[in-house]
Chains A and B, each alone.
Chain A
Amino acid sequence: MTVLPKTTAHTALLSKTAPRAAFGNLVRNEARLAWRLPAGLIFGFAVSLLLLIVFGELPSFHKPQPELGGLTTFDVYVPILICLVIAILALISLPAALVSYRVQGVLRRLSVTPVPPSWVLAAQLVVQFCLAVITLVTLVVVAITAFGLPVPKNPGGLILASLLSIAALFAIGLSIAAAARSEIAGRVIGGGTLYPLLFFAGMWLPREMMPAAILAISNYTPLGASVEAMQDSMQGQFPPAAALLVLAGYAVVFGFVARRFFRWE
């Protein structure tokens, strides 16, 4: 044996020694934890569904508004609520879980087993992704069946826009998990990112009513682009390439940042 040449982070997603079944077990345990520590479920799923129901019950939200380009307030808020769910899961739940695993030494413990610690990160992504998809489908189905939202005219565009939005926001969430050195820092950075992004998504002032300068900024924020792409798909057009490219760009850039800077202990 001679000199030891290089650092191996042991983060490969494909491991020849760890049994495949181990990944399924990791996913199952992450799902159990999501159920037993239901902050993500409550704030992501329940709050957005509740808001959808409240908005749906308000008669004034179902009147076409000229300043919204003829859409109803309810129509405008459905994609915004979808973005709210994705953003809470991606920017709050995901970093909270991963940062606590690093701080508590869960990742360190895994690093001395045949299973690479990256598997638990992947399992966490699978669980949060499933939660996002379930919530999103529930919101759209409830909006259509209970509150008369027109069936999205371009479902393919909506699915593409949703997947790209999830990818972009999860990449940002992973970068927060990479940057935060403590659980408190994770919550602060996550929350500090969430509110501005929700503002540009139109949470408090729909994009249709934004001044031109604010709208121009909104177009280049992940949730602004996401709402634009989803709303267009619902109204029947394929989402604009610019919005999809903005989402893809965030996914790629922040995916790279997370990969480059994620620390395992």
Chain B
Amino acid sequence: MKTPAAVEIAHLRKTYGHVVAVDDVSFSVAEGEIFGILGPNGAGKTTTAECLLGLRTPDAGSISVLGLNPAVDQADLHVIVGAQLQQSALPGKLRVGEILDLYQSFYPEPADVAELVEALGLAGKRNAYYRSLSGGQRQRLSVALALIGRPKIAVLDEMTTGLDPAARRDTWELIERVRNRGVTIILVTHFMEEAERLCDRVALLDSGRVAALDTPAGLTALASGGKQVRFAASAPFDDRLLIELPEVRTVEHNGSHVIVTGAGQLVNAIILQLATAGVTARDVQLDSWNLEDAFVKLTGRNLAEEGVLT
């Protein structure tokens, strides 16, 4: 990687008693990247994030966050790393504005509270008690608190859980704006759509191990073995015509349809090649895999079943 790494994790291992939560996890996150840690419940996502925030001391392996060791340099770390955690609430009888002012005073160079509440759609809620907020509003306040110290890195654990689709999209836009200001973002999530939309790269965790590490598109391609194109040919043709293309991997016939798998600009390559033989392709369909399919393929398990029940 050319850009300096914001986070370097090597051979991380963490056990709770006999339970191995995280085993030999390694990855690095470049500065300015949106990096996703993806996987079902119990995959070790939160433990990984907690080790990286210095909340847990790893049993083995090393972590460097902007040159700091989270387990020993916590005080310095939390000035430059903002976090949004699961299972963390705030006192119900404090007002949103009071909470923001309090957390703002924790940091040497904090963000502007007015700007932040505006961006998160909380401007009308500054006088509301925390306990009167909806789940989505609490979640947005939590994201605001993660960003209030103008962090260099923001770790967001399941930040859109409990948000309705519109609020989720608003939060995604906010995250992109924050990244455009140069903040590195580590996103812990089990939402495929979120990872596909936001992440530059994704570490797919399964049972405490990294099952795959790639861009969302790369993971999808890796799991599906590429793309799959179905079409009806106007005339019979020799399969070798397509097999010799670098983009094509397999050619199958299914009744009147031809199914071709491969990668790259598969559809264009097929159509151009068939044209040289005077054959046209009709009813062309490109089956694309999404990250959800990729997860099932890579881990042999259904993410939705295990992951959604947070």
Judge: A and B partners, yes or no.
yes
Could you list which residues of chain A lie within 8 angstroms of chain B, going by C-beta atoms? 1-8, 10, 12, 15-19, 21-22, 25-26, 29, 32-33, 36-37, 101, 104-106, 108-109, 111-116
The answer, among A7, A16, A21, A104, for a CB contact under 8 Å with B89, is A104
CB B96 to nearest CB in A, in angstroms, measures: 13
Residues of B in contact with A, size category: 35 or more
Flag if A32 contacts B89 (CB, 8 Å).
no
**In-complex Cβ contact of B78 among A106, A108, A114 (8 A):** A114
Say yes or no: is B132 at the interface (Cβ < 8 Å to chain A): no
* Chain A residues near B101 (CB-CB < 8 A): 25
- State in angstroms the CA–CA spacing of A17 and B149 once bound together: 12
A105 touches B102 (CB 8 A): no
CB <8 Å contact, B79 and A4: no
User: Which of A10, A15, A109 sits near B85, CB closer than 8 Å?
Assistant: A109
B78-A33 in contact (CB<8A): no
CA distance A32 to B87 in the complex (A): 24
Complex Cα gap A115–B64 (Å)? 21
Q: B74 near A109 (CB under 8 angstroms)?
A: no
Ordered by A's residue number, 26 sampled pairs between the chains whose C-beta atoms are within 8 Å are A1-B62, A1-B63, A6-B57, A7-B71, A10-B75, A12-B75, A15-B75, A18-B106, A22-B102, A32-B93, A32-B94, A33-B93, A101-B91, A104-B88, A104-B90, A105-B87, A108-B85, A108-B87, A108-B88, A109-B88, A109-B89, A109-B90, A113-B106, A114-B78, A114-B79, A115-B106
CB contacts (< 8 Å) of A108 on chain B: these are 55, 85, 87-88
Residue from A3, A36, A106 in contact with B93 in the complex, judged by beta carbons closer than 8 Å: A36
Residues of chain B within 8 A (CB-CB) of A2 are 62
Known contacts A3-B62, A10-B54, A105-B89; A114 and B72 CB within 8 A of each other: no
Enumerate chain B residues within 8 angstroms of A12, measured Cβ to Cβ.
75
B91 and A113 form a contact (CB under 8 A) = no
Q: Which residues of A contact B8 (CB under 8 A)?
A: 1
The reply to whether A4 and B69 contact each other, CB–CB distance below 8 Å, is yes
**Besides A1-B69, A2-B62, A6-B71, 20 other A-B contacts (C-beta < 8 A):** A4-B57, A4-B71, A5-B72, A8-B71, A12-B75, A17-B78, A19-B106, A21-B105, A22-B102, A25-B105, A29-B91, A33-B93, A33-B94, A101-B91, A105-B89, A106-B88, A108-B88, A109-B88, A112-B83, A113-B106
Q: 8 tightest A-B contacts by CB?
A: A105-B88, A109-B88, A112-B83, A1-B62, A104-B89, A4-B71, A36-B93, A17-B75
Q: How far is the CA of A203 from the CA of B107 in the complex (A)?
A: 48
By a CB distance below 8 angstroms, the chain B residues around A19 are 105-108
B89 → A minimal CB distance (Å) = 4
Q: Is B76 an interface residue (CB 8 A)?
A: yes
Report the nearest A residue to B99, measured CB to CB: A29
Q: Tell me, yes or no, whether B98 is within 8 Å of chain A by CB.
A: yes
B53 CB within 8 Å of chain A = yes
Q: Which of A4, A10, A104, A114 contacts B106 (CB 8 A)?
A: A114
Q: Is the Cβ of A22 less than 8 Å from the Cβ of B105? A: yes
Contact A29 B106, CB 8 Å, known A8-B72, A36-B93, A112-B78? no
CB distance from B13 to the nearest CB of A (A): 11
Smallest distance from the beta carbon of A58 to chain B beta carbons, Å? 38
Chain A nearest CB: distance from B77 CB in Å? 9
The distance from the CB of B30 to the nearest CB of chain A, in whole angstroms, is 18
Return B67 CB to nearest CB of chain A, in Å: 9
A6 to B69, CA, bound (A): 11
- Specify which chain A residues have a CB less than 8 angstroms from the CB of B54 in the assembled complex: 8, 10
Q: Is B172 an interface residue (CB 8 A)?
A: no
Q: Which of A7, A26, A105, A113 lies at the interface centre, i.e. has the most chain B CB atoms within 10 A of its CB?
A: A113
Is A4's CB under 8 angstroms from B87's CB?
Answer: no
User: Does B58 reach chain A (CB closer than 8 Å)?
Assistant: yes
Interface check B60, CB cutoff 8 A: yes
Within 8 Å by CB of A111, from B55, B57, B93, lies B55
Asked if B74 contacts A8 (CB within 8 A), the reply is yes
Q: How far is the CB of A116 from chain B (nearest CB, A)?
A: 8
- Are A26 and B102 touching (Cβ within 8 A)? yes
Please give, as numbers and ranges, the residues of chain A lying within 8 Å of B62 by CB-CB distance: 1-4
**Closest beta carbon of chain B to A49's beta carbon, Å:** 24
Given contacts A25-B102, A111-B55, contact A106 B91 (CB under 8 A): yes
Q: In the assembled complex, which residues on chain A have CB atoms less than 8 Å from the CB atom of B145?
A: 109
Q: How far is the CA of A191 from the CA of B105 in the complex (A)?
A: 36
Cβ-defined contact, B74 with A10, below 8 A: yes
Query: CB-CB < 8 A to B107: which residues of A?
Result: 19, 113-114
Within 8 A of A (CB), among B46-66: 53-55, 57-58, 60, 62-64
Q: In whole angstroms, what is the CA distance A99 to B37 when docked?
A: 32
Identify the interface centre among A17, A33, A105: most chain B CB within 10 Å of its CB: A17
Q: Which of B60, B90, B105, B149 contacts A106 (CB 8 A)?
A: B90
**Max chain B C-beta neighbours (<10 A), residue from A1, A6, A112:** A112
Known contacts A7-B71, A25-B101; A113/B149 CB under 8 A: yes
Question: Residue B64 contacts which of A1, A7, A15, A33 (CB distance < 8 angstroms)?
Answer: A1
